[in-house]
Chain A
Amino acid sequence: MTPENITLPEYKPTKALPFTYPCYKDMFDNKIMFAFKGIVTSDLVTRVLEIMETRLEEERGNKKISKKVYNVMVECLTNVYADEAKATKKEYDPTAILLVRKVDKSYHVTTGNYISNNRVQELKRILDKINAMSKENLRSYYQEVLVKEESGTQGLTTLGIVDLARKSRQNLAYQFKYVNEDFTFFSIEAKISANSI
């Protein structure tokens, strides 16, 4: 039988597994090379990093970029797991999402997780402040926060955000999606491009 003789059935979402293909297609269209949704524990962080190390080695790309993607992932993931550990309310969903996209020759590392609504304004203020800074301003701000911020501060800290911005060398994209009177879903993305390092 030649391929011309094969008639494929038209794709129709059915009651059985209606989500598989749309989910795959969505990931394909968005150039997602790695995705995880679940509770980010520190054990999971080390496993995800192992997988990504292999994936990046397979790509045989620029080693400086691979190292940077790796460093950014370390910070993104530990920010999310530390944040998740803060959850105390029963209705809080501690799961987070991690996505790594490869768009042309750039890597985009994105995390999303629930945060308390009372953190939104402060986070937005910090993100806007950092995004407006030059490379030199970021450096001095990083040093200032490194000295000032208390040891043991957990979660998505100012130092963590400044660190992401410095490693990325580009503005951090972010979004706050209001969920209910207690929580907001917070997404943040750091890009790593060959032409910015």
Chain B
Amino acid sequence: MIEPLKIEPTHKTPRVYFDPSEGAFEISGRSIPEDSVGFYKQILDWIDFYGSNPEEKTHFKFEFEYFNTSSSKNILEMLKKLEEIFHKGHDIKITWYYDEDDEDMEETGTDYKALLSVPLELLMKLH
């Protein structure tokens, strides 16, 4: 069994909580790291490894407060890796949460959905 990946949030980086034994795959909060490639590498490597032997069902939850465009490219990389796992025949579902007041986050989710062929659901969070 793959080790979980858990990263505590900071003012600049999101909380990461990937624990297959709990069925939890969540990334949430802010993402404006100085070195976005460095920060996301560990996440992308983990997903690669997880994809070699995934659980029967995987539900990834993206719940960002805000992120910059440098992070947006890394987030696309994450989603592409999940898409690869999906195309290998595994059951992958993604939920993209956005605040009801945040039309930019909704728009970004819509863009990702348009660029990918993995099931991606947009879900509005009400106050």
Q: Which residues of A contact B (CB under 8 A)?
A: 42, 45-46, 63-64, 66-68, 70-71, 74-75, 78, 81-82, 85, 139, 142-143, 146-147, 149-154, 157, 159-160, 163, 166-167, 197
Contact = CB atoms under 8 A, between A and B. Distances in A.
Most chain A CB inside 10 Å of its own CB: which residue of B68, B72, B103, B111: B68
A147 B68 contact: no
Give the interface SS of chain A, mostly helix, strand, loop or mixed: helix
Contact of A64 (B37, B70, B74, B101): B101
Contacts of B74: 151
A159 B67 CA distance: 13
A67 B104 contact: yes
Interface of B: 11-12, 32-34, 36-37, 40, 66-70, 72-74, 76-77, 99, 101-105, 107, 111, 114-115
A167 B103 CA distance: 9
B34 A149 contact: no
Contacts of A163: 69, 72
A16 B56 CA distance: 74
A75 B68 contact: yes
A151 B102 contact: no
B28 to A, nearest CB: 16
